[in-house]
Structure 1
Amino acid sequence: MAQIYHTAIFLILTFLSFQKSFCALVTQSPLVLTYHKGELLKGPLTVNLVWYGKFTPTQRSIIVDFLQSLNTIKRATKIQTPLPSVAIWWKTTEKYHNGSSSTVVGKQILDENYSLGKSLKNYHIRYLATKIAGPNSINLVLTAKEVGVEGFCMSRCGTHGSTKQISGNKRVAYGWVGNSETQCPGQCAWPFHQPIYGPQSPPLVSPNGDVGVDGMIINIATVLAGAVTNPFNKGYFQGPANAPLEAVSACTGIFGSGSYPGYAGQLLVDKVTGASYNAHGLNGRKYLVPAMWDPKTSVCSTLV
């Protein structure tokens, strides 16, 4: 069975080489992601998690809080998330061929004993992704900092694609993101780490005090947006199907207004910690989410 893979994040080197042309495209003529008439994922959508390797309880809570913050359904609580919020950012996906993109966190599997070893191939990721079955879901495989994955740091920080469940022929959308803290933070955790190439501006302070996990949040956001708007390679994208520019990857390196190569843009700064962020989440969390292409305006839209 042929498998479909999508590179979710370009390396900083690629960004620095080509971002000027993307910015010029956005400002001089609209950036257009073509709709290829295929299926998109619509809510209520369940995000299942496979934790591969050792994650601390705090690291898991940062990521789970982010995923729960995506939910645009009004909550039965008097506590309101301040604006700008992660939910408002995610709501942009509803403009893609219309429809709800509400999400819930589903099942979670902890594989702390490295059942497949510490060096994974693409087929290992597919296998892990099929360990959870469920309708209308995305199975997200997250690998710990000591786990190597084929292509990780070389050409990608995360991917999404589709595969068949172990039992039955139903296609399952899945994604993978790795923790780059010790392997390539200058590539996959920018702007929270000094970039390997290009302008050497000081790194930003990460909002949750964990460079690797806050970098993962950026890549998880990218992967999920791509999986929802182009789950089976027939959704919204620009360019070749085997290397598409998608909802967020088309806006690589843009986090706030006025961004340019090596500069993430104007962001909010926590007065106590000095951390940079652009979105509020649940439980008082703050996050940095990437720009997302807005199909109504044909521009890379930021929250600040």
Structure 2
Amino acid sequence: MCQALSAPSPPCTALLSFLFFLLTVVGPVSVSAWRPWPQKNNMNTTDYAFGDSKKYEGSSEFVKLRYHMGPVLTTNITVHTIWYGKWERNQKKIIREFINSISAANSAHPSVAGWWRTVQLYTDQTGANISKSVRLGEEKNDRFYSHGKSLTRLSIQTVIKSAITAKTRPLPINPRSGLYLLLTADDVYVQDFCTSVCGFHYFTFPSLVGYTLPYAWVGNSAKFCPGQCAYPFAVPAYIPNRKPFKSPNGDVGVDGMISVIGHEMAELATNPLANAWYAGQDPSFPVEIADLCEGIYGTGGGGSYTGQVLDARDGATYNMNGIRRRFLVQWVWSHVLNYCTGPNALDH
């Protein structure tokens, strides 16, 4: 449901409760479903751990991801973007290319499109898979902060309403296959930002917006909390003597946003109305396919350890190729494999 803080990442409420149960009730376990951190590989990879603690991919023995018969996004997905606040041209280019790369089948391996193929494995009750087609739709700029620089979770929906009801160039209303992405600039604070979340998704309320529209919000943390929401491109002050990774596109805030955007888009596709794919008993606090893989970017990753990722010639760190750029994007849960996976997995 939400992209929690990630350095080391205190997960969203439901996931935290789930992990607390495992530690306090079930106790320490060792099960065969946990895959060990490989000792050898022939890829140009980086290991990154805080201290000696290395966690591994999720265990299928305890994760009970279920389908609750709700709709998923099986028709061509169109992403309508709202740029709230002041954005630089190059910042927009980075985010646009990431979204366009989701359907770019010819990108070099490991690719963003390869990452999305795990999301495509999820189906609705008719057996229809989530669409492989994700494209950019209309965009709306809100350069003058029409709802202020401090937003609540509810006022985010009013920003979306303003975008679809604008007198000039309103965003199209597309409840079936539209995905509304609200991106806030680095001087905008959103409720719970930095303290518990870096982004979240839900759907708009008809009583407030007039329609039920799946949406996600992601904020640029560059000024408020890069060590939390742009990790590992920034490291919190309370973790001494650790050098952050070099961001692949030269913008710590935006490169940090990319993984959060991927997290929320994967969950929106598989659980747009909070009644499709999730673990746990409470749909108000679901544990979704990206929540299950919080902080995992490569084989052996989890918790404060990113896993094995790739080093570019310029020293930047990434794990996926886009059309022309590189990105670092967290993995998602595969209900076929019953563990977290990504295109850069060493056992593929």
Fold match, TM over 0.5?
Answer: yes
For the 8 Å contact 2:81–2:182, the answer to whether it is kept is yes
Aligned equivalent of 2:46: none
Alpha-carbon distance between aligned partners in 1 of 2:63 and 2:208, rounded to the nearest angstrom: 40
Aligned residues: 291
For the 8 Å contact 2:56–2:300, the answer to whether it is kept is no
1:285 to 2:285 alignment: no
Aligned equivalent of 2:4: 9
The structure-2 alpha-carbon separation of the partners of 1:64 and 1:30, relative to structure 1 and needing over 3 Å to count, comes to: same
Range with bigger deviation, 88-97 or 213-222: 88-97
Q: What's the % identity of the aligned pairs?
A: 36
The structure-2 alpha-carbon separation of the partners of 1:34 and 1:25, relative to structure 1 and needing over 3 Å to count, comes to: farther
Aligned equivalent of 1:49: 81
Aligned equivalent of 1:3: none
Shift of 1:168: 8.4
Aligned equivalent of 1:163: 204
Instruction: Deviation per CA, 1:224-272: give whole Å up to 9, x if none.
Output: 111111110101111232222211111001001122432211111111x
Aligned equivalent of 1:85: 111
Alpha-carbon distance between aligned partners in 2 of 1:275 and 1:225, rounded to the nearest angstrom: 25
For residue 146 of structure 1, the aligned residue among 176, 187, 190 is 187
For the 8 Å contact 2:102–2:134, the answer to whether it is kept is yes
For residue 124 of structure 1, the aligned residue among 147, 152, 155 is 155
> RMSD between aligned alpha carbons?
2.5
The structure-2 alpha-carbon separation of the partners of 1:233 and 1:69, relative to structure 1 and needing over 3 Å to count, comes to: same
Aligned equivalent of 1:256: 298
Larger Rg: 2
SS in 2 for 1:123: helix
For residue 272 of structure 2, the aligned residue among 231, 241, 252 is 231
Aligned equivalent of 2:92: 60
TM-score, normalised via structure 2 length = 0.77
Instruction: Deviation per CA, 1:109-149: give whole Å up to 9, x if none.
Output: 11111111111112221122232333210110000000011
SS in 2 for 1:237: strand
For the 8 Å contact 2:57–2:339, the answer to whether it is kept is no
Range with bigger deviation, 124-133 or 233-242: 124-133
Alpha-carbon distance between aligned partners in 1 of 2:79 and 2:206, rounded to the nearest angstrom: 16
SS in 1 for 2:268: helix
Alpha-carbon distance between aligned partners in 2 of 1:81 and 1:157, rounded to the nearest angstrom: 28
1:190 to 2:222 alignment: no
Amino acid at match of 1:238: A
Shift of 1:89: 0.5
Alpha-carbon distance between aligned partners in 2 of 1:35 and 1:197, rounded to the nearest angstrom: 40
For the 8 Å contact 1:13–1:198, the answer to whether it is kept is no
For the 8 Å contact 2:86–2:143, the answer to whether it is kept is yes
Unaligned runs of 5+ in 1: 1-5, 75-79
For the 8 Å contact 2:293–2:302, the answer to whether it is kept is no
Aligned equivalent of 2:139: 108
For the 8 Å contact 2:233–2:245, the answer to whether it is kept is yes
Alpha-carbon distance between aligned partners in 1 of 2:57 and 2:112, rounded to the nearest angstrom: 27
Shift of 1:30: 5.6
SS in 2 for 1:96: coil
Alpha-carbon distance between aligned partners in 2 of 1:223 and 1:277, rounded to the nearest angstrom: 19
Aligned equivalent of 2:51: none
Unaligned runs of 5+ in 2: 24-33, 35-54, 164-170
* Regions of 4+ moved over 6 Å: 19-22
TM-score, normalised via structure 1 length = 0.88
SS in 1 for 2:204: strand
SS in 1 for 2:179: strand
Amino acid at match of 1:242: S
Alpha-carbon distance between aligned partners in 2 of 1:263 and 1:300, rounded to the nearest angstrom: 14
Amino acid at match of 2:134: T
For the 8 Å contact 1:71–1:104, the answer to whether it is kept is yes
